[in-house]
A and B are shown apart, each in its own frame.
Chain A
């Protein structure tokens, strides 16, 4: 059946179909990735890269060393770790509890709750940031509410470097929990209802069913959510950029913001900025690998 002509036609069709996407992808994603690695080990300081007046030289790992010795790098990294923690141990459990409550049909108005809980997630993070900045500001409603309970309370939450991260983390909990809620809700619906009914008939309590039937069935989804949360947390930028700009005194900075400041604010330092972004990628992969290992060690009850 397959003649040489159809083979040739097949190859031509494959090429034509694949080429536009591949070319664009390599130009916009794959090449810049490699380019970024190269900048991070160079002494490039703006201007023409090839044939400029000052040639670009290999600088070894000096940019990484300078990044490592910068205290703002460590402040940013610490904040990123807080964000990872609030997503893995805050957003995911809360999202699960909300999804479980709805799924077990404990309450009426399921559609209403579902719509409302996911609602914050569709608003631009920049708008969310500006909105909450005002809410937490000394002129905002949080002050008013707190002063109702504790008269004379001074709102320094966002201006005090020691506490400024707390409102940010609370907003992240508010903003991103809906995503995990939706993921868990969709996957809870895939669990066979009869299994749960059978457990109930055998006399299992709500908690026992949850612990021994539902959670094991969802372990794969939990790991995927954790990976999503980790890579998402390391990327976070817009919300903080709009809400605090990394201030006060750069105490709410995160790696992405540190990288942005290094590259685009003041005198541009592209090599160090790319050292930071390379570190972010590596750190993200490392955490994902750890998550996978933890899954192998403790999970794996599914299938």
Chain B
């Protein structure tokens, strides 16, 4: 008995759609088994984890709050991964964007003007893009692997934020807590309606639509896809690989920075030592679950958003750690990658000779 792969003549369309669904289904089943092993009623636990978060207005709003940054970052990463560029430092770019965006309310709290918020968002985008420009520059100029540099810069950004909120940017009236002063007035992201859903959610949807049109309908989008799938062909077509590197990193970094300042000026309302529960890393899973397609990324963002909310709900209601969320997220990415094999290959189980004779 052995597993054997048989290359399909062409990629399976059914499996392109089916593989992420299978992956989600197996993850949920695995979660049920884990809950059962912990002595919980698996169906009740699964209900608490995956269904309850979408059953009330309050939690639906919370879901949107969690999904917005995941989608903002995820669509940018999807474009990057399409170009076969591995920006895995979105968490750092998010942090950098939060810092540069928050500089305005922290350094000039008395400057209250309708222009303040747009400027903060732009500063956030610029900060994230600048942070991502470092790996892009090092790759283009020195040929340094972008995976390692972008990841290293995550730690640097987090320590920079830590230093700022404990040092120069600490709220002087904050009883020595490591936090900046709370943002006020024009420095706060407006909410949509009365709840907690803020402008970031709308920005995420705009980013999805724009990038969908961009990737499927423009020459630049085509250039990025060719550059990723067939770099040599792209070169013959006159597409510049370094330019693609710059573009993809600036785009994904900028969106991560936007997500960062939206978090700081939205749900958090100030700078704290930690401003993200790993959105930048989870967004990698969002991009893959979303087939690197902006529209599908939106759906994938909701799925991963549920996993965050479910983790919190499970902690409160079932008394199990919210760290299960991270485990399920990791499992999900594994399963997506495993199931993607089905797109290109048929799996045969049998002995060597069986397969050979079946082919003949």
- Are A and B genuine complex partners? no
